[in-house]
Amino acid sequence: MTYTHLQVEDCGAGAAVRLVTINRPKALNALNREVVRELTAVVDGLLALPGETRGLVLTGAGPKAFVAGADIAAMATMSVDEARAFASEGHALGEKLAALPLPVVAAVNGFALGGGCEIALACDFIYASENAKFGQPEVNLAVIPGFGGTQRLLRRVGLARALELCMTGAIIRADEALRIGLVNRVLPAGEVVAAAVTTVETIAQKGPLAVAAAKRVLHAGADMVLARANQAEIEAFASLFATQDQREGMAAFLEKRAAGFTGT
């Protein structure tokens, strides 16, 4: 498929990593409806037919921005119904990223503001360069985050910090984002994409059904009471004992050899 605003390539060992670059550098990679729809098409393709792809890395073109926010010029004249539809598309993209049975890593250079921060929050991990900056500054425009930012930020950094960021519109540096748990790692500028790809390559060597189950149970358990979440873990754990990968993984361990997982 040809994309107008994305660069899509397979890289890493065995081309196992789908690297997607949002490519609107003159607009600091700002999100508009076309970008959201193209990102959704990429994720839909992986949901329907993952093939050899074992993980997804999202980044932005150029050193200045991952995604500097939504396209304000495009939003300025939206009606209530148009705003609802735009937000719904953003939420649907975030939900599909969470549902992917693959690791999804945001590799953030420069600004990840507004919708950019929200897209990063929808990923499993966030790796940030030292020059990265994060924020939900929508209140400066008399609106609030609309792509899941309030809820994903709440779940990642806690209620008090999410309230402070969303109500003040503050923009924080990468080291502060790391301190409060918004990002997983901070790396030197220029190294963040390579580090994200390396992490996905590492995960690609694990049992893919187990990776998918761990992601599914963790996401589901975040919204469950503990007893129910624990039961979901028990069922997922047990179900993996019906797989060839479980037999292969344990046999390889006992035989002191590398496992050859097939996803079956």
| Catalytic pick among 138, 176, 235, 248 | 138
Q: How many helices (H) and strands (E) does the chain have?
A: 11, 10
What distance in Å separates the CA atoms of residue 58 and residue 41, rounded to the nearest whole number? 14
What distance in Å separates the CA atoms of residue 205 and residue 154, rounded to the nearest whole number? 32
Q: Which of 182, 186, 200 is nearest to 57 (CA)?
A: 200
| Catalytic pick among 52, 82, 95, 118 | 118
CB 93 within 8 A of CB 36: yes
6: which 2 tokens?
């994305």
To the query of whether residue 248 is one of the catalytic residues in this protein, the response is: no
To the query of whether residue 138 is one of the catalytic residues in this protein, the response is: yes
Spacing of C-alpha 108 from chain mean position: 11
Give the contacts of 24 (CB within 8 A, at least 6 positions apart).
Answer: 5, 30, 35, 61
Pairs from 154-163 (Cβ < 8 Å, separation ≥ 24): 155/222, 156/121, 156/181, 156/182, 157/181, 157/182
64 DSSP β-pair partners:
none
Residues recognised as catalytic: 118, 138
